[in-house]
Amino acid sequence: MTEKEIYIENLKKQTKKFAVDVILFCNSLKACKASDVITYQLVKSATSTGLIIAHHAEPDQNRSFLAKFALLLKKLTNQNIG
């Protein structure tokens, strides 16, 4: 496996773990009207991130997306946000 393939696989695993963690967190919230709305949006956002990355990581997809995403992750890490 190349370094790029390893990076993509790790990215897929991390986004999947993030989505699962968000779902578990949302399941732990007290049920009320406000948390239901927030939970719905948060779960949609967390799970769609992984799907978008998995889709664009396929060999026939545009590699510039992953390059831009990697740059964003690097910036977030440097700012201690991610």
Q: How far apart are CA 66 and CA 25, in angstroms?
A: 27
Residues of the chain with pLDDT under 70: 57-63, 66, 76, 78-82
Instruction: Count CB neighbours of 47 within 10 A.
Output: 17
Task: Provide the pLDDT for residue 32.
Answer: 92
- Global pTM value: 0.66
Q: Hey, where are the domains in the chain?
A: 3-78
- CA of residue 53 relative to chain centroid, distance: 7
| Run of H or E including 18 | helix 3-28
